[in-house]
Copies of this chain bind each other. A is one copy, B any other.
Amino acid sequence: MELLNPIDAVFLTAESREHPMHVGSLQIFERPAEQGTDFVRSLYAELMSATPVRPRFRRRQRRILGNFSSVVWAHGEIDLEYHLRRCALPQPGGTAELLDLVEHLHGTLLDRHRPLWEGRIIEGMAGDRLGLYVKMHHALIDGVSAQRLLQRSLTDDPFTTRIRAPWTVSRTEPEPDVPESLWQQVRHALPRLATEVGGVRSAVRALTEGKLALPLSAPATMFNVPIGGARSIAVGSWPMERIHAVRRATGTTVNDVVLALSAAALREYLCKRNALPDKPLTAMVPVNLRRTGETESEGNLVAALLCDLGTDIADPAQRLAAISTSMRESKRVFTELPRLQALALSALLMSPLGLTFLPGFQALPRVPFNLVISNVPGPRKPVYLQGARLEHNYPLSIPFDGQAMNITVTSTADSFDVGIVGCRRAVPHLSTLIDHLDTALTELEHATC
């Protein structure tokens, strides 16, 4: 038995039928050329034989009393046949059929009586592709760590026969240089945060009294409403090289370009519905910061930055410039704060997402952002699962009440992959956002390259 961390417990407590608290991932693989349609079955058999299952993937929730502090993890045997299953797409097995399935899988709750993760190997996909959908509860792992874990179960050797499953990968195996996620850092700093209430309070005061140059009130939009229990999912991919070309031509970062594309798509989506606010939308952007003079050994600081998305600006190049400026300013504020206060400020900005139990934290007067836009680093080299090359890698995150849509992007060796998850009721026709992203990239190229 193992005590559940209070931050992790909050994700269990906040969960309901309308608010599943798991992060997901949809990976698309290309079937090895020499393999037939039964490859997917032998892959399943190989994965089922990948044991022993590590403790993290065997632990399940146990409630001893009725409150946070009494939630513990119990370790036991695992019924792997329950957790990993095969499923198939109806004909013709295209994107529509794939998303229909994944929307259902992503919208249903994990069983609290079992280890809080599930996987599905998806067959019946057009074009000799196969899919792997995995969902893991946020109490078990955060989105960035989940992506890292899934990447670590792949290999850059297309010819290896050794199977690695996410539930067997050891922490000591080599892993790419990905910083601790924001949630992880807040979790690790929690004991200090909780005791240094004074520092937290002064961060809150600075924030609410407007001493920090952050846009603190986001305009009301159709995305900032209570959500229902059904999900819509949209995914899209573009060559990574196109993103880099814009970045190079404008002297900005990949993250800036991601935000500019999202901003353009959101602007277009809202315009078409006569729902674009006069004030620009604000995104919360988790970003890894390392301060001037800090050595690598001093670790990373992932901060919750607020970014003015410039959705009031019509010109794509000007909008990208405004976003880049906003991100630089937001980073400056964070890097000039003492480290613990910076972390406290991040935690405060995340508080609408459930983190309101820390001593000294109160609810902010208004929701400080319209949506979360994350960019999770992906593998830089081609990676494989039993010889099947990872073609696309769509992270699928969590909409919350008041945050009816989430945009998360990541990449494979040469593909820029976007996963959008929305409340099916609050954000209709989610797939049009993918069309708008496509138009936005073309326009940004014309304006800058």
| Residue contact B85 to A88, C-beta cutoff 8 Å | no
Whether a CB of chain B sits under 8 angstroms from the CB of A97 is yes
Copies of the chain in the assembly: 2
Q: A82-B230, A114-B228 are in contact. List 11 more A-B contacts (CB 8 A).
A: A17-B111, A18-B113, A37-B91, A40-B90, A41-B91, A79-B424, A87-B87, A87-B88, A88-B89, A91-B123, A124-B124
User: Which B residues lie within 8 Å of A100 (CB)?
Assistant: 85-86
| Residue contact B82 to A112, C-beta cutoff 8 Å | no
User: Which B residues lie within 8 Å of A79 (CB)?
Assistant: 424
Which 6 pairs, one residue from A and one from B, show the smallest C-beta to C-beta distance?
A: A113-B228, A111-B229, A88-B88, A108-B108, A86-B90, A88-B90
User: How far, in whole Å, are A109 and B230 apart by their CA atoms in the complex?
Assistant: 11
Pick from B82, B104, B107, B112: contact of A18, CB below 8 A. B112
Whole-angstrom distance between the Cβ of A22 and the nearest chain B Cβ: 13
| Residue contact A82 to B424, C-beta cutoff 8 Å | yes
User: How far, in whole Å, are A151 and B156 apart by their CA atoms in the complex?
Assistant: 55
Whole-angstrom distance between the Cβ of A233 and the nearest chain B Cβ: 13
Could you show 28 A-B contacts with beta carbons less than 8 Å apart? A17-B109, A17-B112, A18-B112, A37-B91, A38-B91, A40-B90, A41-B91, A82-B230, A85-B100, A85-B104, A86-B90, A86-B97, A87-B90, A88-B89, A88-B90, A88-B91, A88-B124, A90-B124, A91-B123, A107-B111, A108-B108, A109-B229, A111-B229, A112-B229, A113-B229, A113-B230, A113-B425, A114-B230
Residues of A within 8 A of B (CB): 17-18, 37-38, 40-41, 79, 82, 85-91, 97, 100-101, 104, 107-109, 111-114, 123-124, 228-230, 424-425
User: Which B residues lie within 8 Å of A228 (CB)?
Assistant: 111, 113-114
User: Which B residues lie within 8 Å of A91 (CB)?
Assistant: 37-38, 41, 88, 123
Q: Is the interface of A mostly helix, strand, loop or mixed?
A: loop
Whole-angstrom distance between the Cβ of A83 and the nearest chain B Cβ: 10
Whole-angstrom distance between the Cβ of A95 and the nearest chain B Cβ: 14
Q: Taking CB as reference atom, which chain B residue is nearest A105?
A: B104
Whole-angstrom distance between the Cβ of A17 and the nearest chain B Cβ: 5
User: How far, in whole Å, are A142 and B104 apart by their CA atoms in the complex?
Assistant: 25
Whole-angstrom distance between the Cβ of A89 and the nearest chain B Cβ: 6
Q: Taking CB as reference atom, which chain B residue is nearest A118?
A: B104
Q: Taking CB as reference atom, which chain B residue is nearest A40?
A: B90
Q: Taking CB as reference atom, which chain B residue is nearest A15?
A: B17
| Residue contact A87 to B113, C-beta cutoff 8 Å | no
User: Which B residues lie within 8 Å of A90 (CB)?
Assistant: 40-41, 86-88, 123-124
Whole-angstrom distance between the Cβ of A106 and the nearest chain B Cβ: 12
User: How far, in whole Å, are A123 and B90 apart by their CA atoms in the complex?
Assistant: 7
Of A40, A109, A113, A114, chain B has the most CB atoms within 10 Å of the CB of: A113
User: How far, in whole Å, are A88 and B126 apart by their CA atoms in the complex?
Assistant: 14
Whole-angstrom distance between the Cβ of A85 and the nearest chain B Cβ: 6
User: How far, in whole Å, are A314 and B88 apart by their CA atoms in the complex?
Assistant: 45
Q: Taking CB as reference atom, which chain B residue is nearest A87?
A: B90
User: How far, in whole Å, are A37 and B90 apart by their CA atoms in the complex?
Assistant: 11
User: Which B residues lie within 8 Å of A123 (CB)?
Assistant: 90-91
Whole-angstrom distance between the Cβ of A432 and the nearest chain B Cβ: 16
